[in-house]
Amino acid sequence: MTVPASVLVECPQCKAETLHEVLSGKLGGKSVSVLDSTVKCKDCGHVHHVTVKTPKPVEIPIVLSWLQESSRGKIVLGPDEVLSVGDEVMCGEMPTLVTSIESKGARVKSCKASKIDTVWAKRFDKLKIPFSVNNHGRTFSDFVMAVPDEEFFIGDILELNKKQVAIHSIRIEERTIRTGSALARDVVRVYGAVVRKTLQHGARPKD
Ligand SMILES: [Zn+2]
């Protein structure tokens, strides 16, 4: 950790929390980082001395699963941050979804970071699923974002480009399917057609 260039502290002149420039200072502390420094209020220019204590972030071991494999890593959280099953959390550059939390040897639904022993998570990177859509003779391209396990069914209707689009075939690797479904992770391209709006019979305005 390094001495920050500025800190948000109470200014005795402004009688409010303001941004202060750190003129000089040193960091210490073990579980809590203590910044001892001379600061200058950016609002009124008042120079004073402050001691800022901030809890140090904690490193939590994480078991990351992806398909049949699992790997170990670490996530960094503030000690008072609460993590819950179902939360999205970054493991390095990897977006993950928390599936299980262990604290003091027991599985818990949610827990303060400082009390967590291990986190289990699965990869949660979203995929870009390309669509080719036939709009009454003209084709347009679009895409949707989906998690790898998301299923696309032939006959599903979804909204693309503000139009209702029905899926009629899905390209997966070497073949095209026209019945059933495919997982997002296997999809190369989805083909659909804009659904004609149903005419409202008998919806003529009354006179
Ligand atoms: Zn001030």
User: Higher pLDDT residue, 26 or 167?
Assistant: 167
Mean predicted lDDT score pLDDT of the chain: 89
In a domain, 44, yes or no: yes
Whether residue 111 sits in one domain with residue 84: yes
Contacts from 103-110 at CB under 8 Å and sequence distance 24+?
A: 109/84, 109/85, 110/82, 110/83, 110/84, 110/85
Q: Is 151 inside any structural domain? A: yes
pLDDT at residue 199 greater than cutoff 60? no
Looking at the structure, do residues 40 and 88 belong to the same domain, yes or no? no
What CATH number is attached to the domain comprising 20? 2.20.25
How far apart are alpha carbons 68 and 76 in whole angstroms? Answer: 25
More confident residue, 181 or 95: 181
Task: Identify whether residues 16 and 32 lie together within a single domain.
Answer: yes
Surrounding residues of ion ligand 1, Cβ less than 5 A: 11, 13-14, 41, 43-44, 46
Could you give the CA distance from residue 122 to residue 139 in angstroms, rounded to a whole number?
Answer: 36
Least confident of 25-29, 126-130, 197-201: 197-201
Q: Is 200 part of any domain? A: no
- Span from the CA of 27 to the centroid of ligand 1 (angstroms): 23
Residues 100 and 132 in one domain: no
CA of 12 to the centre of ligand 1 (A): 7
Output the CA 100–ligand 1 centroid distance in Å.
Answer: 46
Query: How many angstroms is it from 40 CA to the middle of ligand 1?
Result: 8
Q: Examine the domain organization and report whether 131 and 187 are in the same domain.
A: yes
Q: CA-to-CA distance for 128 and 111, rounded, in angstroms?
A: 33
The answer to whether the beta carbons of residues 70 and 63 sit under 8 Å apart is yes
Same domain, 45 and 63: no
State the residue range of the domain holding 68: 58-123
Q: State the distance from the centre of ligand 1 to the C-alpha of 50, rounded, in angstroms.
A: 13
Distance between CA 193 and CA 132 in Å, rounded? 8
Rounded to the nearest 5 degrees, what angle is found at the Cα of 36, between the Cα atoms of 74 and 1? 25
pLDDT above 60 (res 202): no
State yes or no: pLDDT of 203 exceeds 80: no
Number of structural domains found in the chain: 3
Is residue 4's pLDDT more than 80? Answer: yes
Distance from the CA of 34 to the center of ligand 1, in angstroms? 22
Q: Domain for residue 199, yes or no?
A: no
Residue 198 has pLDDT above 80, yes or no: no
pLDDT tops 50 at residue 207: no
Distance 49 CA to ligand 1 centre (A): 13
Flag the least confident range among 23-32, 114-123, 168-177.
Answer: 23-32
Residue 201, in any domain of the structure: no
Looking at residue 206, its pLDDT comes to: 45
Residue-level pLDDT at 1: 61
